[in-house]
Amino acid sequence: MMKIGCHLSSSGGYLAMGQTARSIGANVFQFFTRNPRGGAAKALDKADVAAFAAFAAENGIGPILAHAPYTLNAAGSEARVLDFARSVMTDDLKRLEATPGALYNFHPGSHVGQGVETGIGLISDMLNRIVSSFGGDVSTTILLETMAGKGSEVGGRFEELREIIDRVDHPLGVCLDTCHVWDGGYDIAGDLDGVLGEFDRIIGIDRLKAVHINDSLNGRGARKDRHAKIGKGKIGIGAFRAIVNHPKLRDLPFYLETPCDLQGYKEEIALLKGLRR
């Protein structure tokens, strides 16, 4: 069974997200852990978490993917920025202990002119500090997202993610965003096997835990990071047929982050299911 869903609003809580997912034919979903601009998270509602757990088990929903606020920067140059990133990620991971089996995805960060090496060092130190504050006992799988390489983003090259993974004293996974890798220059439309082979050589395909399935408004290597609806961008529908059927990808959960409302997501989920062989 294909694991496919989309980004959902978390404003109604976990059970509401589960019900919304089911209503649009999804069996996985992604949500922001808090306002994407990074405000305080709502208090965790234990009754809602328990009701969702029962609903998810009954309906075969999961894994759920919690996305950290995209404004968080673990590679920032100011103490204030780094403290904010650390406190938000620590708090998010504490809350996610209530929903076992969840994935936690974050953008590695932007080095803001300090250089990629310095950025990688800051991100790795941050993760090591966070994980050690849990006594090493973090049950949620932490994912680094592949980035488009926009501005000073770290994580636009597989090598950069590998270096973070090597320096962190805790097993990390990766979430591959099809729009981002395309914008970063990887030819997933013309040479999917080659790109996944490179991912495997540099990072290890077993680290790949989730796929953000998005088309791109821009050409390969544009480094713009503008998501498009599936089949309406430069990656194209043929590439998505290959992506959802590829033996290295087909059993992973796919999360749409395209510019759609719920009806649009429902149609894209049906479209992608229809591409499966």
**Positions in the binding site for Zn ion (CB under 5 A):** 145, 177, 212
The dihedral through the CA atoms of 117, 121, 32, 242 has a sign that is: positive
By DSSP bridging, strand 254-256 and strand 208-213 are parallel
* Nearer CB in complex with Zn ion: 125/257: 257
Closer Cβ to Zn ion, 15 or 119, answer by number: 119
Tell me the three state secondary structure of residue 111.
coil
Nearer to Zn ion, 15 or 106 (CB): 106
Q: Given the complex with Zn ion, which of 53 and 249 has the nearer CB atom?
A: 249
- The secondary structure of residue 219, as a DSSP letter, is -
Work out how close the CB of 257 gets to Zn ion at its nearest, in angstroms, rounded to a whole number: 5
14 vs 255 by CB, closer to Zn ion: 255
Minimum CB–partner distance for residue 107 and Zn ion (Å)? 6
Count of CA atoms in the C-beta half-sphere (13 A) of 268:
28
Q: Closer to Zn ion by CB, 120 or 213: give it.
A: 213
- The answer to whether the bond into 63 is cis (omega within 30° of 0) is yes
Cα 210–chain centre separation:
7
Residue written as tokens 């973090």?
A: 138
Please state the closest distance from residue 225 (CB atom) to Zn ion, in A.
Answer: 9
Q: Are the C-beta atoms of 265 and 229 separated by less than 8 Å?
A: no
CB of 58 to Zn ion, least distance (A): 29
As measured in angstroms, the least distance from the Cβ of 145 to Zn ion is 5
Outline where 24-146 has alpha helix (H): 46-59, 79-96, 116-133
Residue 117 CB, nearest approach to Zn ion (Å): 23
Both tokens of 102, joined, read 């969840």
Q: How far is Cα of residue 209 from the mean position of the Cα atoms in its chain? A: 9
Cα 117 versus chain centre, distance: 23
Closer residue to Zn ion (CB): 111 or 212: 212
CB of 212 to Zn ion, least distance (A): 3
Q: Which residues 6+ apart lie within 8 Å of 68 measured at CB?
A: 32, 33, 88, 89, 92, 104, 105, 106, 107
The secondary element (H helix, E strand) that includes residue 193 is helix 192-202
Q: Which residue has the tokens 């080095």?
A: 111
Tell me the two tokens of residue 263.
């009806």
Report in angstroms how near the CB of residue 226 gets to Zn ion at its nearest.
12
Nearer to Zn ion, 20 or 30 (CB): 30
